[in-house]
Each structure stands twice: as C-alpha cells, then as structure tokens.
C-alpha cells in the first residue's frame, strides 16, 4: 500500500508540498478529484491518479482546467467533497466557471488548488501572480508556507468550505509545492458520508438576473462573516517580541525566509504571519501596526499585502513607515539573502553577504528535446521542405516550445495553450486583408492568401485542451495556415499524463476524426519517420487555399515502450 | 547524546535527468533517520529537459528556509563538471564550502566548454577544498553503467565525512527510496564508494 494512504496517526513522513495537499484532502475525506496537469501543481494529480487504483477517491485528468472545474462543480452540487487542482494559467482558463460558482456556493465542500511559479522555473508565457484574483473572485484564499501547512490548510480549507458553503482556494508557489519536509500525519478516513444526489434548488444553482444580484449581495455578506473567522483564526498569528517598534508582515514562502533571516541576524522582531490571504484580518493587522514605527512587508511578486497595509495604516497609524517593494523585487522569486538584507536595513543592522564577487563564466545550458524524441523527425522534415526564413512558425505550450531554442529555431511567437492556431489564423487574415497593395477587406485574392506562409505547431493534449475551437475558426472564417498536430500520445512535458486520444484510454478519440468533422479537407496522418512523405506533404499543403492539417503521429519515447507492452 | 548540529547546507547541481531529486530524497531520509529537521527544494517540468538544475537540502536542529542562501553552502555536489561553476553563488570562505565534482562533461550545444583547468582555477577563488572524482567513469568501468554515479558521489561524501551523516543512514535511505528495479545497482554503487573512499 502506498505510504500516503496509510493511517498512521501522528507519524512523520517526508512529503513534497503537493503530496501533503493530497494527504490533507484524504484526511478531510475527499471524494472527487479533477485536474489538468501543469507544473508546479502536477504531482497532485499524479498522486491521486496513482492511488485511485488502490482505493483512493474518484480521480480524472480532465481535458482542460475549465472542464475540470465544471466537473468539480457538478460533483459539489451533488454533495461530494471535491478538489480541483491546476497551475496559475489554468485558473485563467476556468475563470468563467469559477466566478458563478462563488455566487452559487458549494453543496459538497470544495477546495481549488492553484500553483504559481515566480521566476518561471517551469512556465513560459508570463510570471502570473494569482493573488490579485481576490478583487475579481470573492473566494477565501489560504497560503501555506511549507508541506506541513499544505496538509493542515487543505483540511482547514474543506472545513471553511463546509461551514460557509463557498469554494476555498489554496495558493501555492514552486518553492512550497516542491518543498519536502517531515510532515505529521493526522487521522485518515475514507468513504462517502454525504448523500450523493443532485437535488433541484433553482434559487441556489441558477445564476440568472435578477436573482444573480441578490446572490452577489449574499456573497459579499458571506465574505464579511469569513473575515470574522479570519480575525480569530490561528493561522493568522503573531510571533516574537511585541515590545519592538519594528515589525514584519508576511505570508507563504516569504515567512520561512523571514524566520531564517531573524535567526541569521540574531534579531527578535514581532512577525504577523498571514495564513489567510483573503478575506484578510483587518482588526488583527491594525492592532499589530498601531504602535509600530516601521513595518516591513515581505511578499513575492506584486505588492498586495503592502497596498492593503498602507490603507489600514492611514486609519490607525498614519506616521508608520512602510517598507516592502522599495527593498524587495517585484519580478522573480524572493531568496533568503534578499530578505536578510531588507530586515538588516530597516533594523539598522550591519550584514555582509558572502561571496559578492560571484559571476558565471560558464555557458548557459538550456533545456533540450530528449535524444530520440519524435519531434526531431518533424523538425528535420520541415527544414528539408521549406526555407525557414520565409515561413512563420507558431509555438505552443508543451515540450515543443523548445523549438524556440538553438539549434532548432522554429518558433516566431509563443503564447498560451491553443493559441498557435488562433494566432496563425489572425496572421493569415491580416496578410490577406491588409497586405500591399491594399485589397478590399475580406476579399483577398488567392495569391495574397498564399503570400506569407504560417505553420502552427500544436501538441495533442493542447489540441484537446484549447486547439479545437481555434481550428474550427480557421475553417469558419476561411484562412489557410498549415497546422501540424504533434501527436506523441501523451501529455509529455508535465510528466506523461494520459489524454483523451492516448492509446492507454479504451476507445480513445482519434484526432483525425475531430479534424475532418471540423470540415478540414487537407488532412494527412503521417509517422514522421517517413521523412519523404512528410516533407512532400508540408510543401504541398503550404500551397493550399484552405486550412490544412498534418497529424505527426509517433509516441514519445517514454510512453512508446509502455504502449508496446500492452498490445 | 552527541553534539547536535545547528545546520548543514548542501546544493546539488547538474543537468535535468541526472537523478538529482533521487539524491535529495535519499539525503532527506538519512537526515530524518538521524533525528534532524530537514527541508529540501527541487524543480520539475520544463527544467527537467536536460537544462541546468540545482536542488537544495538543509538539515539541522530547526530549519525554516528550503533554499540555501548566497554563500551559505557547506557542501556542493556537482554531477557534471561545467555546471559546478554555476554553484559558486552558494560557496564562501565563511561557510568553508567543499566542492565534490564529478569529472564528467555533458556537452552544451553550440557552446564553448571550459577546460578542467579553467574550472578548477575558478572554483579555487571560492573554496579551499575541491575534490574532483571521475564518478561516472568509475561506475561505468566497475559496474557497467553510470546510472547511479550521483549515488556514488553521495556515498563517497558520507564515507569521507564530507556530510555529517553516517554511511549506515545513507544506506538505509537508499533501501527506502530507490525503486526495486534499480536497488541492486545502487547497493553495488554504495559498496564501490565504500571501497574507494
């Protein structure tokens, strides 16, 4: 039996932050779990996937984060304890479903895990900070600092959700999700206690005006009640010497750097550690700052706590000197040495950072496609087929975003999942509508449409996730990019999770059936090992007046062996 | 009661796919076996695909930060020679940083590589003690595979007292962490390190 499933009350085992979230959910009695993989949240889904076969709760890899959340909403409406996990960009995808869910509230308690990645260790596209979501979606947000808190806060999040009938978010970052420490286990009970049934309740589940405005009012009242809970909650705690006139307010990973810094500097300063990011405890914080001369806010990325403290200080301590982003960076994650220096500065203590003459003489080593990766075959065929300087290459999220690195250099733009196709359509339309000499809008000649060639890459998992609507749009609004679907039959980048077309799935969906149902006439499925056919088809399809699709079908080397064994 | 350790900080550096996370897990288990508090930090996903990777482990009486601070490493284990230089950030005279470096080069596409002499010279600016070991070659020669060269270096560090953890604890941790299919080769590697230490 997997150690994480065992009931060993009080035992300490080493867990990764993400595993501790899983354990916390199990101890809370979670019944239904859905996710779409994304680093640094992936191990949550991977762990549930593994234990689902050993008596764990229901688990699914959904087609994207919105669908994952919607599945979770359905489970919650039917009374199940539900958990949905994703990385920060996934939250953008599911936001449309999340906002009304906060209005309707939960029936079965529901916890949503969102993982940010300051410094973009494993994220392209942006250094997104989930915290300002508090202004848009009024849902409680908890921020654990370490794996023990990941476990404890997940359990607490289920309790808050149960009590207030609202989904509760846990926001982690890479250094929390991918931190290991000995974690004390609690009691573990499985099984369904709630009655599983969708009971009709239109007043509650239908967000239609004018009721929707009443719901918003009820939501805001609910948040104020949760704020009272937050004021009393032990996870918003004050530590250290209350007589000092210099204080620190912090949360999440930054708290650990503050503790480390105080130890390093041999200082005893009062620290307000916030486990609840939203709704924040205004009274407790006013009380903390009212007699201070200086306060340092230690937080990663954009100033959220700092802006809030500035507002509170106006009421209770207008002379308070507030430090934060004037001493700490807004871009990139914090490091312990940054926090040591900031605290030394506000407390007028001398501190010398060791080793400041440091600089890197070594070459950068960028990530690369694995040796033997089927994508190398696609790259080789394309380089044979076209003059790469004359073709625009659309990139996407997956292993193939490494196409942007040297020596491959087949990437001219990169944005979010599904966007390579959507943007390719825009480029083709722009070229045909506005290219000189100016042509009448919407009525580009065939020659114009052929002028600037675009090849958009999209992975199979990304195609299911967000590529299909974009493909339909190219057909519906008539543009002619060449779309190459890189079908490696797995979600490779995040750790080889299955997707709806993977051969491990019984009756898996065939991508060519979807593509042809979308109305694409120029369609070929080619194993890129057939270089000649692949090269010839690329050349041929780039001359077409309508959209064309090549499905490059060859499994990722890490799943190929597994699939061969099964058949 | 033996004297309790305040803190010991290790940075392991290498390239994605060299098994850095396994080493972290082994070290963390060994530290727990000896009754220490422990924190680690690692990276997954994009960073795994053959790029530079560094992972951190700290253990001692009470550990807060999972990250080692600048100039704060007591030991730096580098699984590849070129990468060792990037860990200089974590070394200092004050921390008496020791470098334990695998004398093994993984080429970087389109880049000029530094020679072993250039690397040693640079590391000497940051550390009094640099140990270069051809771990991958030794493992390849003696065991027919270098898959466990990280475990070789780690075991060597324990036998040479570069880590304040008993080799016995490392061995116990290896047995707990390494999956069954790879356990035999790892145990042989541990033995080889004990012989060569």
ipTM surpassing 0.90: yes
Q: Phi, psi (5° rounding) for residue B157?
A: -60, -40
Tokens found for residue A129:
């900070």
State the average pLDDT for chain A: 93
Domain that holds residue B124: 7-101+118-196
Query: In this model, does residue A196 exceed pLDDT 60?
Result: yes
Alpha helix positions (H), A347-439:
375-385, 419-434
Would you say residue B29 lies in a domain?
yes
Q: Of A181-185, A365-369, A458-462, B82-86, which range is least confident?
A: A365-369
Instruction: State how far the Cα of A38 lies from the Cα of A88, in Å rounded to an integer.
Output: 9
Q: How far is A123 from chain B (nearest CA, A)?
A: 7
B86-108 average pLDDT score: 93
Domain count, chain B: 1
Q: Is the pTM above the cut of 0.90?
A: yes
Q: How far is A178 from chain B (nearest CA, A)?
A: 6
Asked whether the beta carbons of residue A355 and residue B37 sit closer than 8 angstroms, the reply is: no
Top pLDDT among A450 and B109 is at B109
Tokens found for residue A224:
């104020």
> Residue A181, SS3?
strand
Provide the pLDDT for residue A450. Answer: 56
Check: CB of residue A75 under 8 Å from CB of residue A196.
Answer: no
Check: CB of residue B112 under 8 Å from CB of residue A365.
Answer: no
Instruction: State how far the Cα of B46 lies from the Cα of B28, in Å rounded to an integer.
Output: 24
Q: Of A474-478, A503-507, B72-76, which range is least confident?
A: A503-507
Degrees (nearest 5) of the Cα angle B11, B82, B187? 55
Q: How far is B197 from chain A (nearest CA, A)?
A: 29
- Contact with chain A for residue B116, Cβ under 8 A: no
Query: In this model, does residue A468 exceed pLDDT 60?
Result: yes
Domain with CATH 3.40.50.920 in chain A: 236-346
- Contact with chain A for residue B16, Cβ under 8 A: yes
Provide the pLDDT for residue B46. Answer: 66
Pick the CATH number of A236-346 from 2.40.280.10, 2.30.42.10, 3.40.50.920, 3.40.50.1220: 3.40.50.920
Q: Under 8 Å CB-to-CB from B168, ≥6 apart: which residues?
A: none
Instruction: State how far the Cα of A255 lies from the Cα of A275, in Å rounded to an integer.
Output: 10
Instruction: State how far the Cα of A451 lies from the Cα of A454, in Å rounded to an integer.
Output: 10
What is the torsion angle, in degrees rounded to the nearest 10, for the CA atoms of residue A334, residue A338, residue A343 and residue A346? -110
Count of CB atoms within 10 A of residue A225's CB?
A: 13
- Please list every residue in chain B whose beta carbon sits closer than 8 Å to the beta carbon of residue A256: 39, 64-66
Across-strand partners of A278? A141
Determine if the peptide bond prior to A279 is cis (ω within 30°): yes
- Please list every residue in chain B whose beta carbon sits closer than 8 Å to the beta carbon of residue A402: 49
Q: Under 8 Å CB-to-CB from A202, ≥6 apart: which residues?
A: none
- At B1, the pLDDT band (50, 70, 90 cuts) reads very low
Question: Percent helix, strand and coil across chain A, each rounded to 5?
Answer: 45, 15, 40
Tokens found for residue A387:
């003059």
Sheet holding A246-251, edge to edge: A236-239, A271-274, A246-251, A294-298, A321-323
- At B35, the pLDDT band (50, 70, 90 cuts) reads very high
Asked whether the beta carbons of residue A336 and residue B67 sit closer than 8 angstroms, the reply is: yes
End-to-end CA distance of chain A: 28
- At B3, the pLDDT band (50, 70, 90 cuts) reads low
CATH 3.40.50.10860 holds for A375-566 = no
Domain with CATH 3.40.50.970 in chain A: 3-232, 375-566
Q: Which of A180, A257, A401 has the CB atom closest to B65's CB atom?
A: A257
- Please list every residue in chain A whose beta carbon sits closer than 8 Å to the beta carbon of residue B118: 361
Would you say residue B84 lies in a domain?
yes
- Please list every residue in chain B whose beta carbon sits closer than 8 Å to the beta carbon of residue A407: 109-110
The DSSP secondary structure of A487-523, one letter per residue, reads: E-SSBTTTT-B--TT-TTSTTPPPHHHHHHHTT--EE
Percent pLDDT > 90 in chain A is 83
Provide the pLDDT for residue A471. Answer: 98
- Please list every residue in chain B whose beta carbon sits closer than 8 Å to the beta carbon of residue A149: none
Q: Of A365-379, A432-446, A481-495, A499-513, which range is least confident?
A: A432-446
Per-residue pLDDT of A487-540, as tens digits, reads: 999 999 898 999 998 887 777 899 999 999 999 999 999 999 999 999 999 999
Pick the CATH number of A3-232 from 1.20.910.10, 3.40.50.970, 3.30.70.2740, 3.40.50.300: 3.40.50.970
Provide the pLDDT for residue B63. Answer: 97
């Amino acid at each position: 039996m997997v150690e994480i499933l065992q009931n060993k009350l009080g035992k300490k085992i080493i867990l990764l932050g993400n595993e501790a979230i899983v354990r916390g959910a199990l101890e809370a009695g979670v019944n239904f779990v859905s996710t779409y993989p994304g680093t640094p949240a992936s191990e949550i889904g991977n762990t549930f996937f593994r234990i689902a076969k050993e008596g764990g709760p229901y688990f699914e890899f959904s087609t994207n984060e919105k669908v994952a959340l919607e599945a979770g909403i359905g489970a919650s409406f039917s009374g199940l304890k539900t958990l949905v996990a994703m990385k920060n960009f996934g939250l953008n995808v599911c936001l449309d479903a999340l906002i009304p869910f906060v209005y309707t509230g939960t029936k079965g308690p529901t916890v949503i895990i969102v993982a940010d990645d300051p410094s973009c260790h494993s994220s392209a596209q942006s250094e997104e900070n989930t915290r300002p979501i508090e202004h848009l979606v009024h849902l409680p947000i908890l921020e654990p600092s370490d794996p023990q808190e990941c476990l404890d806060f997940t359990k607490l999040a289920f309790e808050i959700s149960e009590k207030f009938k609202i989904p509760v978010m846990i926001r982690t970052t890479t250094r929390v999700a991918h931190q290991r420490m000995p974690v004390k286990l609690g009691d573990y009970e499985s099984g369904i206690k709630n009655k599983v049934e969708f009971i009709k309740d239109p007043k509650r589940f239908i967000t239609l005006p004018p009721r929707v405005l009443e719901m918003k009012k009820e939501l805001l009242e609910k948040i104020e009640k949760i704020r009272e809970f937050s004021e009393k909650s032990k996870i918003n705690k004050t530590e250290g010497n209350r007589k000092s006139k210099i204080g620190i307010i912090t949360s999440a990973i930054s708290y650990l750097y503050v503790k480390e810094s105080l130890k390093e500097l041999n200082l005893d300063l009062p620290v307000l550690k916030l486990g609840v990011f939203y709704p924040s405890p205004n009274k407790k914080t006013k009380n903390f700052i009212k007699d201070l001369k200086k306060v340092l806010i230690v937080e990663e990325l954009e100033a959220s706590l700092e802006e809030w403290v500035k507002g509170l200080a106006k009421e209770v301590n207008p002379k308070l000197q507030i430090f934060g982003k004037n001493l700490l960076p807004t871009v990139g994650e914090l490091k312990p040495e940054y926090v040591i220096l900031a605290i030394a500065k506000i407390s007028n203590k001398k501190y010398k950072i060791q080793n400041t003459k440091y600089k890197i003489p070594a070459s950068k080593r960028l990530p690369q496609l694995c040796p033997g990766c089927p994508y190398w075959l696609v790259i080789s065929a394309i380089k044979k087929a076209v003059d790469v300087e004359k073709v625009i290459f659309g990139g996407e999220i997956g292993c193939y975003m490494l196409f942007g690195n040297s020596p491959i250099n087949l990437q001219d733009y990169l944005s979010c999942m599904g966007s390579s196709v959507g943007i390719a359509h825009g480029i083709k339309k722009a070229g045909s509508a506005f290219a000189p000499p100016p042509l009448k809008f919407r009525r580009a000649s065939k020659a114009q449409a052929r002028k600037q060639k675009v090849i958009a890459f999209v992975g199979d998992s990304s195609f299911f996730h967000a590529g299909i609507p974009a493909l339909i749009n190219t057909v519906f609004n008539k543009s002619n990019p060449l779309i190459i679907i890189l079908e490696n039959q797995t979600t490779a980048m995040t750790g080889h999770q299955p997707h709806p077309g993977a051969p491990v799935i019984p009756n898996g969906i065939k991508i060519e059936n979807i593509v042809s149902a979308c109305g694409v006439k120029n369609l070929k499925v080619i194993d890129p090992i057939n270089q000649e056919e692949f090269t010839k088809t690329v050349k041929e399809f780039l001359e077409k007046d309508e959209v064309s699709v090549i499905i490059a079908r060859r499994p990722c080397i890490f799943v190929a062996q597994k699939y061969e064994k099964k058949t | 009661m033996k004297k309790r350790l305040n803190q010991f900080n290790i940075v392991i550096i290498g390239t994605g796919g060299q098994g850095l996370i396994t080493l972290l897990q082994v070290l963390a288990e060994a530290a727990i076996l000896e009754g220490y508090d422990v924190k680690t930090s690692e990276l997954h996903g994009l960073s795994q695909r053959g790029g530079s990777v560094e992972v951190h482990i700290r253990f001692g009486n009470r550990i807060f930060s999972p990250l080692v601070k600048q100039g704060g490493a007591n030991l730096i284990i580098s699984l590849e020679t070129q990468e060792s230089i990037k860990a200089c950030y974590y070394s200092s005279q004050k921390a008496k940083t020791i470098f334990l470096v695998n004398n093994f080069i993984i080429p970087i596409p389109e880049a000029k590589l530094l020679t072993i002499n250039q690397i040693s010279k640079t590391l000497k600016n940051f550390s009094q003690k640099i140990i270069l070991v051809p771990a991958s070659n030794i493992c390849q020669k003696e065991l027919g595979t270098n898959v466990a060269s990280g475990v070789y270096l780690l075991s060597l560090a324990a036998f040479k007292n570069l880590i304040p953890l008993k080799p016995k604890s490392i061995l116990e941790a290896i047995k707990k962490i390494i999956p069954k299919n790879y356990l035999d080769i790892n145990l042989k590697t541990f033995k080889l390190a004990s012989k060569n230490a």
